[in-house]
Amino acid sequence: MKLPNAPEFLHPRNPTTSVRIGRVSIGSAHPVAVQSMTATKTQDIEATVAQVRQLEAAGADIVRIAVDSAKDAEALSLIRERTQANLSVDLQENYRLASAVAPHVDKIRYNPGHLYHHEKKKAVRDKVAFIVEAAARHDCAIRVGVNCGSVDPDKAGLFGADSIAPMVESALEHCAMLDELGFARYVVSLKDSDPNKVIEANKRFASQRPDVPLHLGVTEAGLPPDGIIKTRIAFEQLLAAGIGDTVRVSLTVPNDRKQEEIAAGRQILEDVSNGRFRSVPRFDNDRLNIISCPSCSRVENEAFVDLAIKVKEMTAYAQRHAITIAVMGCRVNGPGETDDADLGLWCAPNHVNLKKGADSLGAYSYSEILVRLKEELDALVATQGAGKLP
């Protein structure tokens, strides 16, 4: 099935199975769904309910909430009482929270790379079985969410310079586990901050499992408009190839602008359906690339969003240099997902950790970090033959 009103030149959608998530179903027999994630603290029930309603009013088919603790799970039960939205929950390191959150949501998302953080001697399959049991008992779907910055450690390094293969292999392995456990209501996502890698990873996976619904997204896409452009590049090429059943545009925006993710997703779908393509064939990797994670409830200091904006402004002089700077807002994504950047900032509650590749350069206050970042950026630009900087 093609996208609604899709022009004839688009490839038919992969024949993915139908997966029900609350009152919406995704898969090739259904329109592509659009979703987003709350950025409020989950335990702030009033604010979280307000944002769920804000996103739903903007057209979100599914709204995701992060749960990091038992207190978050308790808050989730009260949030559920006050909204009929289709809710997804984002499990982080503690897979055991699945049993506490499953009664209150319609979908559980887990990251294969995070299943190694607790009970390290316990088999991964047993942990997946625990999640499956909770999901099946409470009528929940599951998303296997594979991210470039937190790849299954058993897969990392097995494929040489091919950074995409570990992601695809991890996704395929977990699909096989879910199949063996008799659980069919699952979706897969393979995300990277580089749209070209998102395209390649999803195409590889879809060629081997065309039956599995895919959730598309460019993780840490960054600030608009750049973040929308990166996402559009990936979505246009994948949707035109018949790949993709639900989408999320991940933007670094203040809490009161989270609905912009829904508007951007809807616009991209409408444009693709009507044959309006705005992206270039490939993302330009020969220019400055700033990646930043979407604002969400895991952000430990809301100054992170302002910092990301200031980083973009301050680094404008280096636009013609192939340098990647990552600005991450929490301890979950920060340490691992800055490793591949030339310079990385991951933001703690009261300081910002500065990294050069995987190496730490120290911790600085929010007022100091831009000066130190510029010093390191100047050095990188100089090594590329820039000469005297302004």
- Residue 207 pLDDT > 80: yes
Tell me which architecture the domain covering 19-273 has in CATH: Alpha-Beta Barrel (3.20)
- Among the listed residues 146, 137, 114, 88, the one whose alpha carbon sits nearest the alpha carbon of residue 296: 88
- Which uninterrupted H or E stretch holds 248? strand 246-248
295 three-state secondary structure: coil
More confident residue, 206 or 332: 206
- Which uninterrupted H or E stretch holds 255? none
More confident residue, 201 or 338: 201
Class of 299-383 in CATH: alpha beta
Chain-centre distance for alpha carbon 232: 15
**Which pair of structure tokens corresponds to residue 308?**
């990301």
**Which pair of structure tokens corresponds to residue 37?**
């994630």
**Residue spans per domain, the chain:** 19-273, 299-383
**Which pair of structure tokens corresponds to residue 259?**
């609905």
Tell me the helices (H) and strands (E) count for the chain, helix number first.
11, 15
81: exposed, middle or buried (C-beta count within 10 Å: 0-12, 13-18, 19+)? exposed
- Residue 387: the pLDDT is 41
* Distance, CA of 322 to CA of 161 (rounded, Å): 19
Per-residue pLDDT, averaged over 187-215, amounts to: 96
Per-residue pLDDT, averaged over 14-33, amounts to: 97
Per-residue pLDDT, averaged over 117-127, amounts to: 90
Q: Please give the angle made by the CA atoms of 204, 206 and 211, to the nearest 5 degrees.
A: 155
pTM greater than 0.85: no
- Residue 200 pLDDT > 80: yes
- Residue 260: the pLDDT is 96
- Residue 153 pLDDT > 90: no
More confident residue, 220 or 58: 58
Residue 285 pLDDT level (bands cut at 50, 70, 90): low
- Residue 390: the pLDDT is 40
Beta strands (DSSP E) in 68-208 are 87-91, 107-110, 141-147, 186-191
- Among the listed residues 337, 281, 326, the one whose alpha carbon sits nearest the alpha carbon of residue 148: 337
Yes or no: say if 248 and 36 are a contact pair by the CB < 8 Å rule. Answer: yes
Most confident of 7-21, 289-303, 324-338: 7-21
* Distance, CA of 308 to CA of 310 (rounded, Å): 5
Q: Please give the angle made by the CA atoms of 167, 150 and 186, to the nearest 5 degrees.
A: 55
DSSP output for 104-131: G-SEEEE-GGGGGSSSTTS-HHHHHHHH
- Residue 386 pLDDT > 60: no
